[in-house]
Amino acid sequence: EGRVDFQNVCFSYTAGTEILSEVSFTVMPGQTVALVGPSGSGKSTIIRLLFRFYDVQGGCILIDGQDISKVRQNSLRSYIGVVPQDTVLFNDNIRENIRYGRISASDQEVEEAAVAADIHHKILSLPDGYNTEVGERGLKLSGGEKQRVAIARTILKSPRIILLDEATSALDSQTERNIQASLAKVCANHTTLVVAHRLSTIISSDQILVLQDARIAERGRHEELLAMG
């Protein structure tokens, strides 16, 4: 479960400017795909189309063989998890902030998600750095740590597919790589992962799609593409 098919997908925000022109690709269940390409090449748009923030204007997107334009938003939300760029945390400890991903989750489930996303060491801290257990003020959560909270929230929902848009991320490259490594570990062959990136931050993926001029200009495994520069 978690197969993604783009079949001749076309999309424009404004008439006359095609952002995606007959884009086709397949991601097999549990695989990782990285979307790369120059700024403005449509990486974020592909992510937005996948969770139906916009509808395609030509072609179709299938998830496990089902056309997503015919799936109810609620069911789509139940099998696609989107890790937001800017995570809003409320003034309670990180454990409760993670539980927000699925309110019915037990403490143990929340803690497992925190371990998987590598944020467990902050679980009793407040977003502003105050640790409720030891009553000490620590450091505020960094951007990377906030994103880890977002990832923990997402994995708590056990989606079939996780989407992450780092195309315009404010995080430094090393933090991005660390986050990718955690996510790749979490997803390991059972959750499909679609990530929009800067090429320089890619650590590994089953497939890389290079977008340019509204099309997929290159596709391949990352060793091949990195070798091409």
Please give the residue ranges that form the binding site for ligand ADP (CB under 6 A): 13-14, 19, 37, 39-45, 85, 167-168, 196
Q: Which is nearer to ligand ADP, 93 or 175 (CB)?
A: 175
Token reading at 45? 């748009």
Q: Which is nearer to ligand ADP, 78 or 207 (CB)?
A: 207
CB of 130 to ligand ADP, least distance (A): 30
CB of 194 to ligand ADP, least distance (A): 13
CB of 16 to ligand ADP, least distance (A): 12
Q: Which is nearer to ligand ADP, 17 or 104 (CB)?
A: 17
Contact 154, 82 (CB under 8 A): yes
* Whole-angstrom distance, CA of residue 102 vs CA of residue 104: 6
Q: What is the DSSP letter of 167?
A: T
* Whole-angstrom distance, CA of residue 57 vs CA of residue 140: 44
Token reading at 107? 């403490």
* Whole-angstrom distance, CA of residue 33 vs CA of residue 148: 20
Contact 193, 164 (CB under 8 A): yes
Q: Which is nearer to ligand ADP, 23 or 110 (CB)?
A: 23
H helical segments located in 70-124: 73-79, 94-99, 107-116
Token reading at 51? 């969770």
Q: Which is nearer to ligand ADP, 125 or 201 (CB)?
A: 201
Nearest to 95 by CA among 84, 83, 110: 110
CB of 45 to ligand ADP, least distance (A): 3
Q: Which is nearer to ligand ADP, 40 or 129 (CB)?
A: 40
Nearest to 75 by CA among 57, 63, 59, 58: 63
The pairing of strands 130-131 and 58-63 is: unpaired
CB of 43 to ligand ADP, least distance (A): 4
CB of 188 to ligand ADP, least distance (A): 26
